[in-house]
């Protein structure tokens, strides 16, 4: 606005037409703040067209009244032609500033409204993603609990002396699950301790035919990692890669540093789903990864030559 006002012959007007210059400056700023206050683009989006027409008529009327501002007496004493020229130039100046302020204000309001719309969409998308993450997690937890209860049931039926120890570990797992149920990201040391407890629980039901290798390397235990994500792959390795009659190996490797989480599992395919369908666990993991780490992860899972492998690489920090 100050730059636009400087287009006027301020040095002459401040001497010969001070009152009009002050009035014009006040008009420019009042008109601008009135535009900001009524926010015409917002009214347009709300389809309040009558309000827009009324406001514009008020602004035009205010501008028209300013064109009748009296000339100083020393300017009126001249001949008729110069007075008409001055009045015409002043009227053009007033309407020019009306158009400038109108265009500038609308441009500002449109920009702000655009940013408001973008922020609103981002908030809606964030809430949607949060709801989807909660849904996928809620689907995984019962799936995990069902398989773990099957493990405990097998120990009870066999009359194993490891049953009591298994229930103690299972209660610890339950406490962990419900203590972090509202957190999507937790410190790596807590998640890895949970994985260790689960692996120890599974080893209680296995005999000498199944060999379990768990390798964990953590550079910083406070690095945040997704909660209860890796357990789905580990659970599947024990469910489909163990046998009480055939020698087999389940290998699990987790490496965490400040920037990456590397996870690998490898197991012989000892059994298949009875219904032949794909489970929801891994599919939900993919969806969680896509929501938590879009374009920042690589997941490969599949069987080859009777060996099922999972390779997951997550870039924990967005460095773009």
The pLDDT of 226-252, averaged and rounded, is 87
- Report domain extents, the chain: 2-120, 162-315
Fold of 162-315: Heat Shock Protein 90 (3.30.565)
The tens digit of pLDDT for each residue in 53-97 reads 888 898 888 888 888 777 666 555 554 446 666 677 778 777 887
- Which has more confidence, 151 or 307? 307
Distance CA 294, CA 125 (A): 14
Task: Please give the share of the chain, as a percent, with pLDDT higher than 90.
Answer: 11
Question: Helix, strand, or coil here: 319?
Answer: coil
Q: Is the pLDDT of residue 256 over 90?
A: yes
The tens digit of pLDDT for each residue in 105-163 reads 888 888 887 777 777 676 656 655 665 555 555 555 565 667 667 777 777 777 777 77
Q: Across all residues in the chain, what is the average pLDDT?
A: 78
Task: Show the tokens assigned to 275.
Answer: 């219904």
Query: Which of 8-12, 103-107, 229-233, 262-266 tops mean pLDDT?
Result: 262-266
The tens digit of pLDDT for each residue in 18-50 reads 777 778 778 888 888 888 888 888 788 778 888
Using CB atoms within 10 A of its CB, is residue 235 exposed (0-12), middle (13-18) or buried (19+)?
Answer: buried
| Nearby residues of 233 by Cβ (< 8 Å), 6 or more positions away | 263, 265, 282, 285, 301, 310, 312
pLDDT at 43: 81
Alpha-carbon separation of residue 179 from 98, 227, 231, 292 (angstroms)? 62, 11, 16, 20
Read off the pLDDT band of 309 (50, 70, 90). Answer: very high
pLDDT at 267: 93
């Amino acid at each position: 606005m100050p730059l636009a006002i400087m287009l006027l012959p301020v040095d002459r007007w401040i001497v010969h037409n001070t009152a009009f210059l002050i009035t014009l400056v006040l008009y420019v700023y009042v008109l601008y703040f009135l535009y900001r206050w009524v926010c015409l683009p917002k009214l347009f989006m709300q389809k309040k067209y009558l309000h827009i027409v009324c406001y514009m008529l008020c602004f035009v009327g205010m501008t028209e009244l300013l064109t009748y501002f009296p000339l100083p007496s020393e300017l009126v004493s001249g001949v008729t032609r110069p007075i008409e020229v001055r009045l015409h130039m002043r009227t053009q100046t007033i309407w020019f500033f009306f158009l400038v302020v109108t265009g500038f204000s609308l441009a500002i309001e449109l920009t702000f409204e655009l940013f408001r719309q973008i922020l609103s969409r981002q908030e809606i998308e964030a809430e949607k993603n949060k709801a989807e993450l909660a849904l996928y997690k809620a689907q995984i937890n019962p799936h995990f609990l069902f398989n773990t209860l099957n493990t405990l049931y097998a120990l009870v039926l066999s009359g194993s002396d490891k049953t009591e120890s298994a229930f103690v570990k299972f209660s610890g797992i339950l406490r962990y699950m419900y203590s972090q149920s509202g957190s999507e990201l937790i410190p790596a040391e807590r998640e890895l301790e949970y994985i260790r407890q689960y692996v120890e629980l599974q080893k209680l039901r296995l005999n000498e035919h199944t060999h379990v290798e768990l390798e964990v390397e953590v550079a910083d235990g406070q690095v945040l990692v997704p909660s209860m994500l890796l357990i789905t792959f580990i659970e599947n390795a024990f469910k489909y890669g163990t046998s009480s009659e055939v020698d087999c190996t389940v290998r699990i490797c987790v490496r965490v540093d400040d920037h990456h989480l590397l996870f690998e599992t490898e197991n012989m395919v000892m059994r298949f789903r009875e219904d032949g369908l794909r489970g929801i666990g891994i599919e939900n993991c993919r969806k969680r990864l896509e929501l938590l780490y879009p374009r920042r992860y690589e997941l490969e899972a599949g069987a080859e030559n009777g060996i099922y492998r999972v390779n997951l690489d997550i870039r924990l920090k967005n460095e773009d």
